Amino acid sequence: MTLYAIGDIHGQLGELERALALIEADGGQDARIVFVGDYTDRGPHSRQVIERLVSGCEEGRPWTCLKGNHDRMFLRYVTAGIENDDNIRSGLSWLNPRLGGAQTLASYGLVFDETPGFLRPKGGVEHLVEARVNGALAGPQQMQARARDAVSERHLRFLESCPLWHREAGFIFVHAGIRPGTAMEEQSEEDLIWIRDGFLDDPRDHGAVVVHGHTAVEAPEHHGNRINIDSGAGYGRPITAAALTPEGAFVLGAEGRARLSPEAR
């Protein structure tokens, strides 16, 4: 049996459609796919990406859509007005174009007429003071209220329902990684969607190969105990579509499957 996985999407609808087409060509319309999260931010089509995933799930496609850290930041801002995450060491607001929140809101019709000038650092943590969006000024509370009105309940329910991890066919799928030595049922949400230190450099067998995204690389990497499929769509690079089989891992391309072999340590 072949199981498929798609790396971080970051609002790149065209790349998502390309990855889905590659999987359909390899495994048919009913191919089993796990998406490792980060559907939103940085790219121009976050709303359309989420709609594509929601519609596919509603049609009964065998898709599992995990939650990424950018998806949680989007959800928290729209539902509770939370701009910051303690895991962002720079203290940037989610609305800062560097994190991509402004691009996500633009896909829902809320276009910032000017961008960085409306973000002010306060106590080392950046907060929105006011912004001109679609020609009208808005303060922090007004901005969040407009976002809440713009984003459909259907999309919010989808993001809220996304699981944090999935195990199948000898693989553990997760957005960022796992805390080595900790049972999956005891993993913290913060680690599952944010971890790098203590995971990326850990050579131990995790009991299953961990397939993850979150840490952007130039091309997918196989480290034996983990496979990183975040190939940097948030920075304009192609999305990775991977085929995972008992015989090994493969990256899908226009010419078909290319084996992804473990790198020597």
Question: pLDDT, tens digit, for every residue of 107-157?
Answer: 999 999 876 466 666 668 888 888 889 999 889 999 999 999 999 999 999
**Predicted confidence (pLDDT) at residue 17 exceeds the cutoff of 60:** yes
Q: What pLDDT, on the 0 to 100 scale, is given for residue 121? A: 66
Over range 64-75, report the average pLDDT. Answer: 98
Domain boundaries, given as residue ranges, for the chain: 3-68+162-260, 71-156
Pick the CATH number of 3-68+162-260 from 3.60.21.10, 3.40.50.2300, 3.40.920.10, 3.40.50.1000: 3.60.21.10
Q: How high is the mean pLDDT of the chain?
A: 95
Question: Model confidence at 99, in pLDDT bands (50, 70, 90)?
Answer: very high
DSSP letters along 129-181, please?
A: --EEETTEEE-HHHHHHHHHHHS-HHHHHHHHH--SEEEETTEEEESS---TT
Quote the pTM value: 0.96
CB 44 within 8 A of CB 11: yes
Residue 117 has a pLDDT of 62
How many alpha carbons fall within 13 Å on the CB side of residue 162? 31
In the chain, the amino acid numbered 238 is: P
What average pLDDT does this structure show over 177-181? 98
Dist. CA 82–CA 45, nearest whole Å: 22
